Chains A and B, each alone.
Chain A
Amino acid sequence: MTAIQVRGLRKSYRGHAAVDGVDLDIRQGEVFALLGPNGAGKTTTVEILEGHRKRDAGDVDVLGADPATAGRAWRARLGIVLQTANDAAELTVRESVRHYAAYYPNPAGPDDVIEQVGLTAKADARVKSLSGGQRRRLDVALGVVGRPELVFLDEPTTGFDPEARRQFWELIRNLATSGTTILLTTHYLDEAEALADRVAVIAGGRIVAEGTPATLGGRSTAKATVSWLGPGGRETRTTDTPAALIRELGDHELPELTVTRPSLEDTYLSLIGAPR
């Protein structure tokens, strides 16, 4: 089953093509990451999928409906986790989650959702007293309280410290385990690698590569770099057949031997054409 299908999506602002022929297929239950630099067309694409922006051309199907014309019943099946919001500062966490639960026909129990995002101890605290990380957990709670089939997560861990990020990833993994389809946009490649089943890189309004984090952009079959400490200093060779090369180097030990392939970051930077 397909959760999102996009064909030939285009959107221009004042003659500038922000999205220039994007195709996407996201299966139900998949965690899909959309990577790309600022201005690549990520946000425009996602906003069109959410039904918040009109498209110029192309076919878009999200949960079996066209977002441009779909109504409240369709929207009740989506969850949108905002990137930046400071709303409802004066309400408590529990009041906020309860209030948003009331918008949906078949919501989860507010207290269960609060527990799921790890805010039980803060349930009666005013939203304005939460830390940045707790605030984002509340954003997730408000996004999933309606038991959505599809969740949009827009750069969810920007500004997090490493520990908070790990905890947040765990939360997203739990959500994914329950069968929810997740479309994640992010700047962080380790985040995509940690969470996503599949990744697409968008640059200049087009999808320039798509695959699993391990195979993106031919990463798994790219030339390997073999490096070791020789008698005269560090030696480095690139090869398609690293095992054969190491056999060839003989039967003595190779100190500090490493075999590396391009990291996701290397692959990503070459895909978006950034200087390294």
Chain B
Amino acid sequence: MTTAALPSTAGLGLSRGVAELKQFFRQKDHVIFTFTFPAFILVLLGSIFDDAYPGGVTVGQVFAASMVGAGIVATSFLNLGIGVALDREDGTLKRLRGTPMPAAAYFLGKVVLVAVASLAEVVLLLAVGMVVFDVTLPTEAARWFTFAWVFVLSIISCSLLGIAISSFAKSAQSAAAVTNLPYVGLQFMSGIYIPISELPDWMLTVGAVFPVKWAAQGFRSVFLPDSMMVQEAAGSWELGKTALVLGGWCAIGLVLCLLTFRWTNRRAG
């Protein structure tokens, strides 16, 4: 018998996070797929369209700002949607369930993974934007404050939705398809790949229901001058509404996670 205390949940969450990061960055195909893909698309799209808006902002700069939003959806939603399904399939979750690790430590580890991968993704996309499309970083503290809360709300809501959608995939292979469909579809509908002015109204309406549009719009408000506000569907940055929608998805995502999370693929049998 031992009287030693059980390790703390926070400490275990951190050590899960370290293990998650090691595994993520050592898995080259996964890194390329979820991590450098948005940067690749950014370079492609920005090179195809080279016109400028009134006031001198180029289409490439708008893409760069929007793509920060799309990029962290990849490192949160896509990464966890596939990653948790993979953990379920390869026995990670089954093994963890047999240890005294609390479930919360597993999710904390995923949070650490998503936070680090998303920050790295933002740095990568901004670096590409600055070098290729002359994006300039804002200097006002207020814009960085907006960046911080849009970033945090986006990765929390998209991470929770990713964990929830992983339970709908029957296997890790189908998880890639199940997560990519809404991810790619919503990028079109949210004006990431195609400028908002080109999109039909119904698409804008559908896109406005989901977090991708609000994340991208939030980052546009950070990295583009206020003169670009008029290009938005509502003619303004709508920061209050952005906080409301992203916050709402955090709550919905949490409920979905609690309702759908499974430790194994096998149903009772």
Tell me if A106 and B2 are in contact (CB < 8 A).
yes
Chain A contacts for B269, CB-based, 8 A:
13
Q: Does A246 contact B (CB under 8 A)?
A: no
Residue of B nearest to A52 (CB): B97
A76 to B6, CA, bound (A): 8
A28 to B92, CA, bound (A): 29
Chain B contacts for A201, CB-based, 8 A:
none
A78 to B102, CA, bound (A): 15
The smallest beta-carbon distance between A57 and chain B, in angstroms, is 16
B residues in contact (CB < 8 Å) with A: 2, 4-7, 11-12, 15, 19, 22-23, 26-27, 87, 90-92, 94-95, 97-102, 263, 268-269
Tell me if B98 and A78 are in contact (CB < 8 A).
yes
Q: Does A218 contact B (CB under 8 A)?
A: no
The smallest beta-carbon distance between B118 and chain A, in angstroms, is 20
Q: What are 8 A-B contacts defined by CB distance under 8 Å?
A: A50-B98, A52-B97, A80-B98, A85-B94, A85-B95, A102-B7, A105-B2, A105-B4
Tell me if A99 and B19 are in contact (CB < 8 A).
yes
- Choose among A13, A91, A142 the residue that contacts B95 (Cβ–Cβ < 8 A): A142
Chain B contacts for A86, CB-based, 8 A:
90-91
The smallest beta-carbon distance between A81 and chain B, in angstroms, is 9
Tell me if A102 and B15 are in contact (CB < 8 A).
yes
Tell me if B91 and A103 are in contact (CB < 8 A).
no
Q: Does A17 contact B (CB under 8 A)?
A: no
Q: Does A156 contact B (CB under 8 A)?
A: no
A206 to B263, CA, bound (A): 28
The answer to whether residues A103 and B99 also contact, given A84-B91, A86-B90, A90-B27 and a CB cut-off of 8 A, is yes
A87 to B88, CA, bound (A): 9
The smallest beta-carbon distance between A94 and chain B, in angstroms, is 12
The answer to whether residues A75 and B90 also contact, given A102-B15, A105-B4, A106-B4 and a CB cut-off of 8 A, is no
- Choose among B5, B27, B100 the residue that contacts A75 (Cβ–Cβ < 8 A): B100
Chain A window 31-72, contacts with chain B (Cβ cutoff 8 Å), 1 for yes, 0 for no? 000000000000000000010110000000000000000001
The smallest beta-carbon distance between A104 and chain B, in angstroms, is 6
Tell me if B91 and A105 are in contact (CB < 8 A).
no
Tell me if B99 and A146 are in contact (CB < 8 A).
yes
Chain A window 89-107, contacts with chain B (Cβ cutoff 8 Å), 1 for yes, 0 for no? 1110001000110111110
A147 to B2, CA, bound (A): 10
A residues in contact (CB < 8 Å) with B: 13, 50, 52-53, 72-73, 75-80, 82, 84-91, 95, 99-100, 102-106, 126, 142-143, 146-147
- Choose among B7, B97, B98 the residue that contacts A105 (Cβ–Cβ < 8 A): B7
A80 to B101, CA, bound (A): 13
A103 to B91, CA, bound (A): 17
A105 to B101, CA, bound (A): 11
Tell me if B12 and A102 are in contact (CB < 8 A).
yes
Tell me if A95 and B92 are in contact (CB < 8 A).
no
Chain A contacts for B12, CB-based, 8 A:
102-103
Tell me if A90 and B91 are in contact (CB < 8 A).
no
Tell me if A85 and B98 are in contact (CB < 8 A).
no
The answer to whether residues A76 and B100 also contact, given A102-B12, A105-B7 and a CB cut-off of 8 A, is yes
Tell me if B92 and A75 are in contact (CB < 8 A).
no
A117 to B174, CA, bound (A): 36
Tell me if A88 and B92 are in contact (CB < 8 A).
yes
Chain A contacts for B92, CB-based, 8 A:
85, 87-88
Chain B contacts for A105, CB-based, 8 A:
2, 4-7, 100
Tell me if B90 and A89 are in contact (CB < 8 A).
yes
Chain B contacts for A91, CB-based, 8 A:
19, 22-23
Chain B contacts for A52, CB-based, 8 A:
97-98, 263
A50 to B99, CA, bound (A): 10
The answer to whether residues A75 and B87 also contact, given A82-B94, A91-B23, A105-B2 and a CB cut-off of 8 A, is no
